[in-house]
Structure 1
């Protein structure tokens, strides 16, 4: 089991005499202990698994949220070695169409921004881009990248960023597209454990794996439904969300066919469950709980753990992996990208994109309006809505996260994801947490 070198003591809970024997740690409570590194950071291998049979070059998954993942995001991530999960806040037939669209687009990472060689004697380079139906292209020569061609239009800056970061990402990170046995892009889809018809339709439409999408799977009815669902489909099913060791043990006792675990309760930036309901298991702790349960069952490393919620940067992602995760799911990480659903919104001189929790009022109203099969378990809102800064093409986000992950795992002395599970995290005091951030300087 991934180890954290500290002891947790029990403390009294009020005057009841009961004890609290679990300390809930989040990313800011720990730091990565540096270890002996045998490889340089750029040689750290990031390939991993999202479920038993879904392999990725980059251990990143986009969250099934209606402001994060539809077909454009899922296709872009899969082309770049990650993977996306189509949200279920739409009629089942529409979700199936999104899955089919991902399966039917080109898997090449150069699909939107092609690589070309310029012919001699050509004066009007824009003709090449118009013929290729592209806003930009990466120009190659005998000794590598020569530059970029960009059409002069209103979104020229976006296309220039796409071209620059795509060439950087593919030459430095060197991922493989996430494809199935037929060479098509891999895509996941979210489903309620109670919606077997949706699950069957999504499998028929080409979904490679399903992600159970409930806030609290550790529920008798939800687990009973899950146990039926996993027997009715032949593709991988990732179960979640869960937070505790007992939740994992009960889930696998009811549905041993589960191919992955989605861990974290109320850690997302737009989730208010911890405030509204008082219930939470921070993602770091949830991942450690899952790793402990799998070790107890003799399944350590055999059922991938997805860390879901609260991951803000590559450092958080690395901590989640060291704690035992095989992959990291991001909502806010990807919500500001150009490929996420929703319009760009200008506020003053800055651009933003909408982002909301799936238990926010707006998301719940949409779900019950568009899906007559949706069942309402709770009326209380457990999510918020707002805006996040527009971050440009998702390849820029992936490049920065991948480079940061390589650096972080290099510090930990890991050469890949599985060896990172042997690395160590240590608790940090509030004073120490402040010290390891930039301080005593006026930042420009």
Structure 2
């Protein structure tokens, strides 16, 4: 089956899968990041201060952490499509309910439960896309889909800049509810992952039908069992706990630590950077939202650059360099004049390296695990990042109460990026060591 998928030309079915997964990730990015951009407006609407949003951000991150650990294993058991449909339905419905929030506590609980479902969209959609795309284009297709995830972040910025003043903070939740339901019918056009079906049951009678949808000319008469090549050997240890076996243990630990720091930083800056700039940098939230839209260009270029370069240069050194530059850009945002040209350039570089670097980590996680644990591998690494996403925004809110200078906050925020760079270099060393150990000695 691996050869069947890898040898296929890129046709309209592969492009359609890419488009649908990209739309789903756009919606996921919108729902995940819009709250940070409207936090001051929500706080004012609920009769509080921006710092009162800390409990909302924290509950959202708790829900995202729970969802990242809970939902991807369900996708490895039930299938990618059913769990994606469940997630779209639930967090879309809860977004509608959030429109009528009357207190910070009510909104916090709604965002917490929503987080369980929208945090699972990224790993499951990436697993589906990677498993149904030929290897020679896999990294590129994943990068394009991740650009659309970042595009959801951009969409939330556009919504803040142009709709917030006229429609109020509720417009974000209305859009966050409508978009998932519009995407649901698109899942009917996507086949279930063939590698998932093969790993679960090589004699599944649905496999020939799925292959027939992909390639009507495929000749399957007499075929009663399908294999995934070398991945078949791993099925005896399938399931999430196989990530802690000898082959994947250190890789899993390093990816968890890297995601804890990298996604923690993303959560901190997504939730608090607009508020920091308004409260400490004297940059109005609407103006900063427009700057962030310019910064999105950097994120999109970083994602595409990472996907293109990972097939051509050492991916571990590449990702480490991205995060080191990311650290410099974050620190620069704390000392440059807000709204100036050089500030916007630093914002673009930060987005380029932060989003591109995280794309690299996601790609390492996606390609580093076999199909029977792929959703769990991506999701649980992301889950550790969501735990970081709980701790980091808490620290960010606490920093706001201490009235720390902007430069102090941004310099402290740059430190995790440096640590991530070191972790990725260690992961590269570990994978090279493992590959060398697997080389069989030649007989004398």
Alignment TM-score > 0.5, same fold: no
Pairwise TM-score range, normalised by the shorter structure? under 0.3
Bigger proportion of residues as helix: 2
TM-score by length of 1: 0.25
Q: Whose strand fraction is larger, Structure 1's or Structure 2's?
A: 1
